[in-house]
């Protein structure tokens, strides 16, 4: 085992201690909790035994869009100092503190020739958060979720007992925790598989697509040939035109020039920070029209084998820190659903319905999901997933989204808890039919209900 | 919990038969409600309010006894409601208009108006604020009045109680800043309700349903102060700057 990064120090991303008003990434529905920094398992056990009637919740980097990582009146645990990163090159696994961000994991491991098994659209999530939300990335159709690559994890349960859980010896605790939104206990560290790489570049094929049917056909027929695949859809243009980007890790011998000198270099930078915007934000039909047009135009009609950096390909938004501020004080939400292939037409209907109320999105992402994993609350299921960012202040948005919920439910689909900020408890129960099974496993780990969140209260989890 | 679109799941109405409060509950567009507590005096009006909400398909409607002037009982009432579950929105909607001439002739009547509208609201408002603070979220909606913006000769007993309530609510909102709990002050003008039946309507008169829509939008947007109707803000700003020798001669 090689210790790659053992700082154990507070990161610049640590939360301030004490009473803090917290929201998710969408900056809606705030609540205040008491932030407490923990550095050891014993600190966590002490926090659990001190927990008052409002309970306790771990919060990572707050990238859930809704109310998953906040809990009014509760103790909010910040594990950012539990960020040790160890690499075992012999088995190709990493042993990482739950408070470490995937950003720090990549910075530590990419130069050694290893990549995380799954990365969402931002590196700014913690390992604990990635497990709690069972995050997926552009490789879900091939590699499944983050949780599918976790070998073992250490979990402190509601009684303060410490368990090392894995899928063979404790499948119930393991799969209740993967996708369990932090409600089964506090994960303190995890061991997960890595992808061996010889370069830090991705070889990317880009195609402009003329319509939703076009892009969906290309994804159905072609995605299997790629490890990574995602489509951006123009939410303004009624055709649903878009840009399909697919790729895989490039090998070192594909690199030329300066890149070939340092094939595993990984030093992504933040280029700008979005300012706080006091009024209605920069997001309105005019700017959305312009953004969608520009995003479509900037993509090449067809290009193969372009070498992009990890940050360019996976995390284009991380370049602008606090980009969620552009939506102004009303905040925004992301509506992400998964439906089976048989309901693929719901993608177009959802986009049309949102256009109908003027809820135009800049970041509209379409992806194919592969097989589901055994987690009762894990979101991905085979078929399509569409994610749409929309300003929360749009009139009539709630009613349209409720109507779309009905369609998602009827199609046998569901919404992603890490994105949700407004579905009803009835929608939750109907679309996650194994909720009661998950509740049994959760109750076994946390019989007193110490772990809770605003999301858990809102959806009666 | 309040969701991202500002819609609550639990509401406590203080002044359980208030028409504006009822209209507000009914104006929430998506029906996320699962608990509505109507706190008020046992009365046919309160029973009717329960029946109206239940009939409209609102689930979890219950009534509890509450007397604004009886401040000694407030702690027990508020703790009882909050102990049974988080409350996302509290509508402080009780109040009496009284009769100005009668209040001037009989100071005891004036004291009664002040006790309900101001003392009662201070008592229950502070207790609600303490519980909202403890749960780390929630909005106290205070039904103030434009009558509190500037005392008028024709209505100054009522107006002064609303002025006091409004000042109290502003300070309370500032005190709660950063705690997750909020105060929304609503300043309606003339609203057609039981309270104003028989009075001559003022310009810009509206219905309880109009006030309700304004409250629902303000909840969604996280506003701190709204007028109902909105343009009254400018009317009142103008009236507040009228010199007193002129103001006392105005026919308002």
| Residue B165, helix vs strand vs coil | helix
Residues in A touching B86 (Cβ below 8 Å)? 72, 457
Whether A67 contacts chain B with CB within 8 A: yes
Q: Is B158 known to be catalytic?
A: yes
> pLDDT > 70: what percent of chain B?
100
Whether A397 and A357 have beta carbons less than 8 Å apart is answered as yes
Does the beta-carbon distance from A54 to B2 stay under 8 Å? no
Residue-wise pLDDT tens digits, B6-53: 999 999 999 999 999 999 999 998 889 999 999 999 999 999 999 999
Does the beta-carbon distance from B180 to A458 stay under 8 Å? no
According to DSSP, the residues that pair with A338 across neighbouring strands are A385, A414
| Spatial separation of the C-alpha atoms in residues B154 and A298, rounded to whole Å | 67
Per-residue pLDDT for A366 more than 70? yes
Q: Which residue of A has its CA nearest to B2?
A: A29
Q: For strand A201-209 and strand A162-166, is the pairing parallel, antiparallel, or unpaired?
A: unpaired
State mean pLDDT over A125-132: 98
Dihedral in degrees, nearest 10, Cα atoms A77, A79, A80, A86: -170
Domain boundaries, chain A: 2-196+442-459, 201-423
Distance from B75 to chain A by nearest Cα, in Å? 19
The CATH homologous superfamily of the domain defined by B10-247: NAD(P)-binding Rossmann-like Domain (3.40.50.720)
Q: Which residue of A has its CA nearest to B34?
A: A425
Q: Which residue of A has its CA nearest to B29?
A: A399
Per-residue pLDDT for A91 more than 90? yes
Selecting among B66, B82, B158, B168, the annotated active-site residue is B158
Top-level class of domain A201-423: alpha beta
Whether B9 contacts chain A with CB within 8 A: yes
Q: Which of B6, B9, B137 sits opposite A31 (nearest CB)?
A: B137
Give the pLDDT confidence score for residue A378 in this predicted structure: 98
Does the beta-carbon distance from B180 to A30 stay under 8 Å? yes
The reported pTM is: 0.94
Residue-wise pLDDT tens digits, A6-64: 666 666 667 888 999 999 999 999 999 999 999 999 999 999 999 999 999 999 999 99
Does the beta-carbon distance from B180 to A28 stay under 8 Å? no
Residue A444 CB neighbours (<10 A):
14
Burial class (CB in 10 A: 0-12, 13-18, 19+), A277: middle
Top-level class of domain A2-196+442-459: alpha beta
pLDDT in tens, chain B (252 residues): 999 999 999 999 999 999 999 999 999 988 899 999 999 999 999 999 999 999 999 999 999 999 999 999 999 999 999 999 999 999 999 999 989 999 999 999 999 999 999 999 999 999 999 999 999 999 999 999 999 999 888 899 999 999 999 999 999 999 999 999 999 999 999 999 888 888 888 889 999 999 999 999 999 988 999 999 999 999 999 999 999 999 988 887
Whether A392 and A420 have beta carbons less than 8 Å apart is answered as no
| Residue A304, helix vs strand vs coil | strand
Does the beta-carbon distance from A32 to B136 stay under 8 Å? yes
Which residues, numbered 73 to 92 in chain B, qualify as contacts with chain A under a Cβ-Cβ cut-off of 8 Å? Answer: 86
Domain boundaries, chain B: 10-247
Does the beta-carbon distance from B136 to A67 stay under 8 Å? no
Whether A132 and A179 have beta carbons less than 8 Å apart is answered as yes
Distance from B1 to chain A by nearest Cα, in Å? 5
Give the pLDDT confidence score for residue A1 in this predicted structure: 65
Alpha-carbon distance values, A299 to A205, A207, A244, A303, B120 (Å): 11, 8, 9, 9, 64
Alpha-carbon distance values, A117 to A93, A186, A196, A246 (Å): 10, 22, 9, 17
Residue-wise pLDDT tens digits, A208-253: 999 999 999 999 999 999 999 999 999 999 999 999 999 999 999 9
Give the pLDDT confidence score for residue A288 in this predicted structure: 86
Does the beta-carbon distance from B180 to A454 stay under 8 Å? no
Whether A267 and A123 have beta carbons less than 8 Å apart is answered as no
State mean pLDDT over A121-127: 96
């Amino acid at each position: 085992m090689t210790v790659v990064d053992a700082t154990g120090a507070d990161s610049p991303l640590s939360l301030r201690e004490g009473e803090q008003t917290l929201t998710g990434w969408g900056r809606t529905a705030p609540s205040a909790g008491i932030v407490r920094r923990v550095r050891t398992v014993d600190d966590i056990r002490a926090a659990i035994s001190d927990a008052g009637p409002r309970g306790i919740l771990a919060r990572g980097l707050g990238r859930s869009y809704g109310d998953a990582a906040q809990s009014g009146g509760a103790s909010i645990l910040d594990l950012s100092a539990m960020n040790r990163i160890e690499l075992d090159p012999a088995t190709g696994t990493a042993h990482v503190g739950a408070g470490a961000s995937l950003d720090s994991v990549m910075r530590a491991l990419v130069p050694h020739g290893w990549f995380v098994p799954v990365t969402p659209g931002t590196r700014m999530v913690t390992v604990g958060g990635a497990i709690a939300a069972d995050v997926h990335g552009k490789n879900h159709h091939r590699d499944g979720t983050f949780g599918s690559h976790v070998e073992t994890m250490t979990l402190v349960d509601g009684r303060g007992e410490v368990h090392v859980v894995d899928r063979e010896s404790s499948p119930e605790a393991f799969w209740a925790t993967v996708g369990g939104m932090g409600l089964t206990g506090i994960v303190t560290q995890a061991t997960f598989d890595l992808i061996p790489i010889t370069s830090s570049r991705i070889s990317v094929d880009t195609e402009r697509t003329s319509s939703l049917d076009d892009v969906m056909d290309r994804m159905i027929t072609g995605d299997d040939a790629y490890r990574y695949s995602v489509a951006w859809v123009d939410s303004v243009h009624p055709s649903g035109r878009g840009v399909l980007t697919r790729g895989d890790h490039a090998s070192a011998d594909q690199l030329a020039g300066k890149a070939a000198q340092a094939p595993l270099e990984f030093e992504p930078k933040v280029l700008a920070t979005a300012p706080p915007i006091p009024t209605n934000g920069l997001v309105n039909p005019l700017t959305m029209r312009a953004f969608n047009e520009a995003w479509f135009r900037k993509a090449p009609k067809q290009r193969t084998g372009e070498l992009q950096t990890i940050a360019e390909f996976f995390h284009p938004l991380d370049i602008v820190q606090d980009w969620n501020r552009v939506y102004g004080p009303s905040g925004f939400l992301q509506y992400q659903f998964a439906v089976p292939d048989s309901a693929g037409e719901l993608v177009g209907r959802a986009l049309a319905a949102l256009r109908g109320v003027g809820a135009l999105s800049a970041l509209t992402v379409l992806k194919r999901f592969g097989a589901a994993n055994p987690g009762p609350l894990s979101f991905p299921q085979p078929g399509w997933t569409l994610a749409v960012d929309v300003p929360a202040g749009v009139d009539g948005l709630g009613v349209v989204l409720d109507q779309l919920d009905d369609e998602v439910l009827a199609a046998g689909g569901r919404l992603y808890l890490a994105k949700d900020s407004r579905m009803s408890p009835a929608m939750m129960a109907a679309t996650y039919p194994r909720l009661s099974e998950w509740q049994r496993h959760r109750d076994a780990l946390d019989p007193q209900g110490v772990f809770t969140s605003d999301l858990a209260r809102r959806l009666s989890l | 919990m309040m969701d991202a679109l500002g819609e609550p799941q639990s509401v406590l109405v203080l002044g359980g038969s208030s028409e504006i409060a009822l209209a507000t509950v009914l104006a929430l567009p998506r029906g996320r409600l699962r608990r509505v507590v109507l706190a008020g005096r046992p009365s046919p009006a309160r029973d009717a309010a329960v029946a109206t909400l239940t009939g409209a398909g609102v689930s979890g409607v219950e009534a509890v006894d509450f007397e604004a002037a009886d401040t000694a009982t407030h702690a027990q009432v508020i703790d009882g409601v909050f102990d049974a579950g988080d409350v996302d929105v509290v509508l402080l909607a009780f109040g009496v208009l009284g009769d100005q001439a009668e209040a001037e002739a009989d100071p005891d009547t004036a004291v009664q108006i002040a006790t309900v509208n101001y003392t009662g609201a201070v008592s229950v408002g502070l207790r609600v604020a303490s519980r909202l603070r403890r749960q780390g979220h929630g909005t106290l909606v205070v039904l103030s009045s434009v009558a509190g913006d500037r005392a008028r000769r024709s209505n100054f007993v009522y107006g002064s109680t609303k002025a006091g309530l409004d000042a109290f609510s502003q300070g309370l909102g500032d005190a709660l800043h950063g705690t997750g709990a909020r105060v929304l002050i609503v300043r309606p003008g003339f609203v057609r309700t039981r309270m104003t039946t028989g009075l001559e309507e003022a310009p810009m008169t509206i219905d309880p349903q109009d006030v309700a829509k304004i409250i629902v939008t303000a909840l969604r947007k996280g506003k701190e102060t709204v007028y109902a109707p909105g343009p009254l803000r400018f009317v009142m700003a103008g009236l507040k700057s009228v010199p007193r020798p002129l103001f006392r001669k105005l026919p308002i």
